[in-house]
Amino acid sequence: MQELLEKVIALAEEAGRMMTSENDVTIDTKGTKDNYVTSTDIKIEKFLREKLTSLIPGSLFMGEEGDIPEITDDCQYWIVDPIDGTTNYARGIPASVVSIALAEKDTVVLGVVHNPYTRETFHATIGNGAFLNGKPIHVSSRKKQNALVSLAWSTYDKKKAPLCFSVSQRLYYVCEDLRRIGTAAYEMCLLAKGSSDMLFEIRLSPWDYAAASRIVKEAGGFTSSSVGDLDLKEPCTVIVTNTETNMDFLKTIVVDEIRRYPNLGLKY
Ligand code: LIP
Ligand 1 centre from 208 Cα, in Å? 7
pLDDT at 27: 85
- What is the C-alpha separation between 139 and 196, in angstroms, rounded? 8
Question: How far is ligand 1, taken at its centre, from the CA of residue 190, in Å?
Answer: 15
**CB 115 less than 6 A from any atom of ligand 1:** no
> β-strand 120-125 against 130-132: which pairing, if any?
antiparallel
What is the atom index within ligand 1 of the atom nearest the CA of 205? Answer: 13
Which amino acid, 44?
I
- For residue 166, give the 3-state DSSP assignment: helix
189 lines ligand 1 (CB under 6 A): no
Helical (H) or strand (E) element with 202: strand 198-204
pLDDT tens-place string over residues 148-159: 999 999 999 999
The residue contributing the CA closest to ligand 1 atom 12 is 155
H or E stretch covering 48 = helix 39-55
Q: CA–CA separation, 15 vs 41, rounded Å?
A: 10
Q: What's the CA gap between 223 and 244, in Å, rounded?
A: 10
**Residue 73 pLDDT > 90:** no
User: pTM for the full model?
Assistant: 0.96
Which residues is 29 bridged to in the sheet?
Answer: 36
At 119-139, the pLDDT tens digits run 999 999 999 999 999 999 999
Percent of the chain, pLDDT > 70?
99
The three-state secondary structure class of 220 is: coil
Residue 182, ligand 1, Cβ within 6 A: yes
* Three-class SS state of 221: coil
Do 186 and 115 contact (CB within 8 A), yes or no? yes
Question: What are residue 236's DSSP bridge partners?
Answer: 204
